[in-house]
Amino acid sequence: MFATIRRGASSDGYFAVPRDGSSFFIPPHLLHAWGLHEGQELDEGQFLHYLALQREWACYEKGIALLALREHSRLELRTKLSQKGFSQEQVSSAIDRLAEEGALDERRYAEAFVHSRLRKSPEGRWLLSRRLQEKGVSRQIAGDVLDSLFSNEEFVDGLVRSAADKLSRRHDDSERIVLELRKKGFSPAEIRRALSGGE
């Protein structure tokens, strides 16, 4: 036979051990789910089949671990999983499953991303929209998330004033401050309204 199922030295799982080449780990729950048992022998086709299933599982588990640290966009997660050596097919399967289960959510990611950016530095809508699209978030989702924030004039005025206050510590030229506010993504109308006190 090509390989044999053997218990790991630490007894926390099993390995499919080929006569030649690298073995792969099988956690107990997968061993039982696949109907395998210790001492079972596998031919080469079976070994490759279960290796592919194990890689799919490992990709999914890595995705779960990454999402436990923070929210990710599909693009971010795809990039990170691909960098771990998983195939595009394995990555796509894991991402689809994570999305179906609700662990991966583009809207939730977009909301977390925007709030994180605004905590660090006030920015305007168009700059935030561009940042979200660079992260792979769709225009529709980016638009919906930003609409919920930037439809509130009082909220936007607060962002502009906060940004202007920080800029005034470095620049005493009002025209320079306005230019920098434009670079931060605020529109001329938003800047005028906020800096004129809403008049």
**Model confidence, pTM:** 0.84
Q: Which residues pair with 25 in a beta bridge?
A: 15
The pLDDT of residue 197: 64
Domain count along the chain: 2
CATH number (domain holding residue 95) = 1.10.10.10
Q: Distance between CA atoms of 126 and 184, rounded to whole angstroms?
A: 9
Residues 1-29: b if buried by 16+ CB within 10 A, e if exposed: ebbbbeeeeeeeebbbebeeeebbebbee
Domain hosting 94: range is 3-101
Which of 40, 69, 101 is the last residue in one of the domains?
101
Task: Please give the structure tokens belonging to residue 93.
Answer: 């399967």
If asked whether residues 29 and 117 sit together in one domain, one would say no
If asked whether residues 180 and 131 sit together in one domain, one would say yes
With the C-alpha atoms ordered 84, 87, 88, 90, is the resulting torsion angle positive or negative? negative
If asked whether residues 96 and 154 sit together in one domain, one would say no
If asked whether residues 54 and 79 sit together in one domain, one would say yes
Which of 101, 128, 143 is the last residue in one of the domains?
101
If asked whether residues 114 and 147 sit together in one domain, one would say yes
The pLDDT profile of the chain, 199 residues, written as one tens digit per residue, is: 899 999 988 768 999 999 998 999 999 999 999 999 999 999 999 999 999 999 999 999 999 999 999 999 999 999 999 999 999 999 999 999 999 999 999 999 999 999 999 999 999 999 999 999 999 999 999 999 999 999 999 999 999 999 999 999 888 888 999 999 999 999 999 999 999 864 4
If asked whether residues 153 and 170 sit together in one domain, one would say yes
Residues 102-118: b if buried by 16+ CB within 10 A, e if exposed: ebbbbeebbbebbeeee
If asked whether residues 85 and 21 sit together in one domain, one would say yes
Burial class (CB in 10 A: 0-12, 13-18, 19+), 119: exposed
Q: Distance between CA atoms of 28 and 155, rounded to whole angstroms?
A: 52
Name the one residue in this structure whose structure tokens are 């938003």.
190
